[in-house]
Amino acid sequence: MAKLKDIVDFINSYLRVDAFKDFPGSYNGLQFQNSGNVSKIAAATDCGIEEVLAAKKMGADLLLVHHGMFWTPPIPVVKNNYKKIKALVEGDIAVYSCHLPLDAHREIGNSALIAKSLGLEITRGCFNLEGEDIAVVAKTPKGGRAELAKRLKKLFPKTYKGFEFGSKNPDEIVVCSGSGTTSILHLLSEGFDTLVCGELKEGQYVYAQENSLNVYPCGHYATECCGIIALANLVAKKFSLDYKFIKSENPL
């Protein structure tokens, strides 16, 4: 058994939550409290109604998520908004959400873990947002983009896509988990032509083509599971608790 406050304080400090200015609607930190104790942790990429019900069923009293409960005010509290809150109250489940601070973290962040899983050497951060780098830069593996594509297909077999219009042997690779719709627009200005990300808008295929870019969108959800799993594992070990990752079949 652990105190919810101790866990929240630990995560806030470890991920440097207060240092980040996140997107509107993303509230980093404790989004929903319970009675104050934690005996079992659930983790999920999204805080949808199915994830909340799964956490309740497994008897978790803390749900750690990457994408929080609501991105707009949940008024009126009806239908799924009501069901979500009702399940949390009945299960005495707290919800802690961490968005950009988890994407950006150099040890357990989504982007860093993807690069490490690909066997890439991280050299620095990039895509600075309000003073914090939210993506990582890594050295290109021997074999260039062909070897990168091979490793990506193995890591993301169901969601891999590749648009190869840039250099066959880029000097460096940018890895930015989740949405790449904004990141791709900064590639050239920051001196890169190769991006691994989660998703793009339809017209950005043409953008990549016309600007000679290599872009590998491998799924928003698929690229944002590793960080929350690593966070749950870290918290569980520190506070001697069990945890379980709630997997979704989200193909996007």
Regarding whether 210 and 111 lie in a shared domain, the answer is yes
Amino acid at 200: L
pLDDT at 19: 93
pLDDT digits (tens, 9 = 90+) for 164-190: 999 999 999 999 999 999 999 999 999
Listed range (74-83, 153-162, 202-211) with the worst mean pLDDT:
74-83
Regarding whether 219 and 231 lie in a shared domain, the answer is no
pLDDT at 235: 98
pLDDT at 25: 87
For a pLDDT cut of 90, what percent of the chain falls above it? Answer: 97
Regarding whether 128 and 69 lie in a shared domain, the answer is no
Regarding whether 166 and 130 lie in a shared domain, the answer is yes
In a domain, 252, yes or no: no
Task: Supply the CATH number for residue 21's domain.
Answer: 3.40.1390.30
Regarding whether 120 and 80 lie in a shared domain, the answer is no
In a domain, 33, yes or no: yes
Mean pLDDT of 81-86: 96
Write the DSSP assignment of 141-204 as a string of letters. PTTHHHHHHHHHHHHSTTT---EE-S-SS-SEEEE--SB-TTGGGGTGGGT--EEEESB--TTH
In a domain, 179, yes or no: yes
List, in order, residues 6 or more apart from 172 with CB less than 8 Å away: 123, 137, 138, 139, 140, 192, 194
pLDDT at 24: 87
Regarding whether 134 and 213 lie in a shared domain, the answer is yes
Regarding whether 133 and 203 lie in a shared domain, the answer is yes
Host domain of residue 201: 103-223
Regarding whether 107 and 188 lie in a shared domain, the answer is yes
Regarding whether 111 and 67 lie in a shared domain, the answer is no
Regarding whether 161 and 71 lie in a shared domain, the answer is no
Q: How many CA atoms lie within 13 A of 139 on its CB side?
A: 7
In a domain, 79, yes or no: yes
Q: Domain total for the chain?
A: 2
Regarding whether 88 and 107 lie in a shared domain, the answer is no
Mean pLDDT of 79-107: 97
Spatial distance between the Cα atoms of 179 and 121, rounded to a whole number of angstroms: 22
In a domain, 251, yes or no: no
Residue/partner pairs of 103-106 with CB below 8 Å, 24 or more apart: 103/134, 103/176, 103/177, 103/178, 103/224, 103/227, 104/20, 104/132, 104/133, 104/134, 104/135, 105/15, 105/227, 106/136
pLDDT at 166: 98
pLDDT digits (tens, 9 = 90+) for 223-247: 999 999 999 999 999 999 999 999 9
In a domain, 249, yes or no: no
In a domain, 250, yes or no: no
Regarding whether 155 and 204 lie in a shared domain, the answer is yes
